Amino acid sequence: MQRNNLPLFFMLIAGAITCVLTLVNGYTLNEMLIRLLVVLIVFYFLGSLLRGCLDMFEKQNREAQEALTKAQEEALKAIEEAQKKEEVREKESDEDTTAGRE
């Protein structure tokens, strides 16, 4: 999942809300711009932090999935080897049984 634009999205939404609220509350232009700048910087930082956390969680999930897949493959190999050994034992016991009868 692409998360590169997440901080920008957060920043722009927060900026739009700030613009509307400052216009409705009747702030002066300088006050509006200062509040808008602060909000844009804060929400860009928060969006970047959220993106970093989500990327870290995705990396952990990917590593866990790879480890699980590897463990499943090893278990399948062990089962196949055990089945082959059992087949060999059955053949040997069948041969011993037929050899004993003769």
pLDDT tens-digit series, residues 22-33: 999 999 999 999
pLDDT for 2 equals 77
Structure tokens at 7: 């901080």
Residue 36 is predicted with a pLDDT of 95
- pTM (2 d.p.): 0.65
What DSSP state is assigned to residue 50? H
Give the span between the Cα atoms of 31 and 33, in whole angstroms.
6
pLDDT band at 102 (very low <50, low <70, confident <90, very high): low
Give pLDDT, residue 101: 61
Q: Which residue has the higher pLDDT, 93 or 72?
A: 72
Q: What ranges do the domains of the chain cover?
A: 6-101
| CA distance linking residue 35 with residue 18, whole number of Å | 8
Q: Is it the case that residue 95 has pLDDT exceeding 80? A: no
